[in-house]
């Protein structure tokens, strides 16, 4: 799910193929251009933390989020929880638990005596909401990462393996949140290994709608396992983000060159409503 001004991976710890051709970005061009902005706006962090909050088990909230973010949850915590997600269940003795990997043990020895000690990059310990951290058997994983753990074998497993017996709405594993700092990174920093198979535009949030004619075909699902990128926003905002990053895009002239198709919805629909409408239309394609 993306927010255009800073479109909002595994879920971030905020504590701290289709037949469509894909645009390949030239690394040489990027290295010669200006660096992307490193700062993240407060508005972006509010959106990201709230979205992350709804897919974080209650026992991990205080571990994953810094205290300063709690004010963002003042109203969100009173909204209905996503109870159909298997890891949001309150069962304390469930075999599979979501956890956050934590540092524990001695710090690593410096390679050079003149350098300071370095913090551990890998760990065997996972906070799964119990009084004691779970110690993995025969595995070491990066610290500060959210994982799914089999409490019987004491190993990190994939959500697909952990929740494969879930059916219907409970077969969903939720979503993850990432913050894209540039327009191009929306497309290039996908969490999918093969990237997105289609990018789809949905005009939304445009309450003072101006008729923008886009030379794009209507969406058609060509692969049942496609990785779809939905861009929900005003066209002017999309074009603005493109223009801000244009010098890094190696000769691409129009934002439409990044888009494969469009899903038509009623004019003037709010972004949150447009998301549900678009998902419904796509699922019925």
- Is 143 among the domain residues? yes
Distance CA 119, CA 105 (A): 10
DSSP state letters, 133-188: PEEPSS--EESS-EEEEETTTTEEE-HHHHTTT--GGGG---------SSTTHHHH
Which pLDDT score, from 0 to 100, does residue 9 have? 38
In which domain, by residue range, is 141 found? 83-165
| Residue 77 belongs to some domain of the structure | no
Q: How far apart are CA 148 and CA 87, in angstroms?
A: 9
Question: How confident is the model over 150-172, as pLDDT tens digits?
Answer: 999 999 999 888 888 775 655 56
In terms of Cα–Cα distance, which of 263, 269, 265, 266 is closest to 285? 263
CB 80 within 8 A of CB 40: no
Residues 156, 185, single domain; the answer is: no
Could you tell me the two tokens for 237?
Answer: 């905002």
First to last CA, the chain: 20
What confidence score (pLDDT) does residue 39 get?
Answer: 75
| Domain assignment of residue 224, yes or no | yes
Sign of the CA dihedral with 263 first, then 268, 274, and 280 last: negative
Domain membership of residue 19 (yes or no) is no
Residue 20 lies in a domain: no
**234 in the same domain as 156:** no
Per residue in 119-150, pLDDT (tens digit) is 668 999 999 999 899 999 999 999 999 999 99
Shared domain check, 261 and 207:
yes
Strand pairing partners for 261? Answer: 200
List, in sequence order, every residue forming a beta bridge with 218; answer none if it has no partner. Answer: 262
Domain match, 255 and 179 both: yes
Give the total number of structural domains in the chain: 2
Distance CA 1, CA 281 (A): 17
Instruction: Check which CATH number belongs to the domain holding 41 and give it.
Output: 3.40.1280.10
Same domain, 202 and 127: no
**Both 179 and 279 in a single domain?**
yes
Instruction: Report the distance separating Cα 133 and Cα 99, nearest Å.
Output: 9
CA 7 to chain centre: 10
Q: What is the pLDDT of residue 86?
A: 83
pLDDT tens digit at each of 285 positions of the chain: 444 443 333 444 444 444 444 444 344 434 444 444 557 888 888 889 999 999 999 899 998 998 988 988 988 888 887 878 888 876 667 889 999 999 875 444 545 555 555 566 899 999 999 989 999 999 999 999 999 999 999 999 998 888 887 756 555 667 888 999 999 999 999 888 889 999 999 999 888 766 667 889 999 887 667 889 999 999 999 999 999 999 888 888 899 999 999 999 998 899 999 999 999 998 887
Same domain, 276 and 179: yes
154: tokens are 């004491």
Residue 102: predicted pLDDT: 92
Structural domain includes residue 150: yes
In a domain, 255, yes or no: yes
**Domain end residue (candidates: 98, 131, 165):** 165
Residue that is last in its domain, among 165, 200, 221: 165
Distance, in Å, from the CA atom of 217 to the CA atom of 66, rounded to the nearest integer, reads 44
Q: 247: exposed, middle or buried (C-beta count within 10 Å: 0-12, 13-18, 19+)? A: exposed
130 and 264 co-located in one domain? no
Are 185 and 274 contained in the same domain?
Answer: yes
What are the beta bridge partners of residue 96? Answer: 150
- 144 and 94, same domain (yes or no): yes
The maximal CA–CA distance of the chain, rounded, in angstroms, is: 66
Q: Decide which of 113, 137, 165 is a domain's last residue.
A: 165
pLDDT tens figures, 62-76: 989 989 889 889 888
* Per-residue confidence (pLDDT) for residue 169, from 0 to 100: 52
Looking at the structure, tell me whether residues 90 and 160 fall in a common domain: yes
């Amino acid at each position: 799910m993306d927010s255009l001004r800073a479109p909002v991976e595994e879920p971030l710890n905020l504590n701290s193929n289709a037949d469509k051709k894909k645009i390949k970005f030239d690394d040489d061009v990027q290295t010669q251009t200006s660096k992307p902005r490193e700062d993240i706006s407060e508005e972006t962090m509010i959106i990201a933390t709230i979205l992350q909050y709804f897919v974080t088990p209650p026992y991990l909230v205080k571990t994953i989020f810094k205290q300063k973010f709690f004010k963002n949850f003042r109203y969100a915590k009173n909204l209905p929880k996503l109870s159909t997600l298997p890891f949001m269940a309150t069962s304390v003795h469930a075999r599979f638990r979501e956890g956050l990997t934590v540092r524990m043990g001695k710090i690593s020895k410096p390679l050079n005596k003149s350098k300071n000690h370095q913090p551990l990059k890998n760990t065997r310990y996972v906070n799964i909401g119990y009084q004691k951290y779970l110690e993995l058997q025969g595995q070491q994983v990066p610290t500060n990462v959210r994982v799914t753990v089999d409490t019987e074998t004491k190993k990190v497993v994939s959500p697909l393996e952990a929740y494969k017996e879930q059916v219907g709405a409970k077969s969903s594993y939720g979503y993850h949140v990432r913050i894209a700092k540039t327009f191009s990174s929306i497309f290039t920093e996908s969490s999918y290994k093969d990237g997105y198979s289609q990018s789809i535009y949905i005009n939304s949030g445009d309450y003072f709608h101006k008729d923008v004619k886009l030379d794009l075909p209507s969406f058609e699902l060509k692969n049942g396992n496609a990785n779809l990128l939905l861009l929900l926003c005003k066209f002017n905002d999309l074009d603005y983000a493109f223009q801000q990053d244009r010098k890094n895009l190696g000769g691409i002239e129009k934002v439409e060159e990044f888009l494969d198709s469009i899903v038509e919805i009623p004019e003037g629909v709010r972004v949150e409503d447009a998301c549900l409408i678009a998902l419904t239309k796509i699922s019925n394609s």
